[in-house]
Amino acid sequence: MKKVNKLNIFLDIDDVIFNFHEAYSKHFKLPIPKGWDNSPEMINRLKSLKKNKNFWLTLPLKNIPNFQPSGFVSARGIPKSWTKESLKLNNIKGRSNVHQVMWNVSKLTILKELGCDLFIDDKIETFEELNKAGTPCLLMTANHNKDYKTPLRINSLDINKINKLYARAINFV
């Protein structure tokens, strides 16, 4: 097992660092969704947000890591420069190493290329895919996954809690 202080830990951004669901719901005056659908309405809303830099720069913080992550991999259909700017505005460490995939595209390939030892995401499908493929992943609690049962759930970006769950995660995959 790799020493935990040498781990390449990568983080998702939306609903891990920033509270995307809350901001999305407030912006569109909708209840906070319990999941995501690919309805035409949702697709149109996401398309409109692709042009709204202010939305992305003013997302409320959900968690601030108390360690320097190796980087970030997030599914965002916006310019990477906006993501880096929002991380910088909030003084989030590791912000120089940002990778983005389009919405509903797997993060597995890029995480393997980056040598990721542990990933933290809020999306159940990503969590399941990565763990099945041998890349340990912790599930960040969010409104849309709170009923999903897993011993690999995390509620903060505290490195001590992450380290405790890492051993469980590598035995899970």
Read off the tokens for 122: 């809020």
Domains of the chain listed by start with CATH number: 4-172 (3.40.50)
Q: Report, as an integer, the average pLDDT of 46-50.
A: 90
Q: What are the E-state strand segments in 68-110?
A: 71-75, 98-101
Cα angle vertex 27, ends 40, 42, to 5°?
10
Task: Give the percent of the chain with pLDDT over 90.
Answer: 75
CA–CA separation, 32 vs 23, rounded Å?
A: 9
How many angstroms separate the most distant Cα atoms in the chain?
Answer: 47
Predicted confidence (pLDDT) at residue 161 exceeds the cutoff of 70: yes
Taking phi first (over 0 means left), then psi (-120 to 50 degrees means alpha), and beta for anything else, what does residue 57 get?
A: alpha
Read off the tokens for 42: 């949702």
pLDDT number for residue 2: 52
pLDDT number for residue 102: 84
pLDDT per residue as tens digits for the range 86-114: 999 999 988 889 999 987 789 999 999 99
Predicted confidence (pLDDT) at residue 4 exceeds the cutoff of 60: no
Read off the tokens for 90: 């909030």
DSSP secondary structure code for residue 155 in this structure:
S
Higher pLDDT, 143 or 59: 59
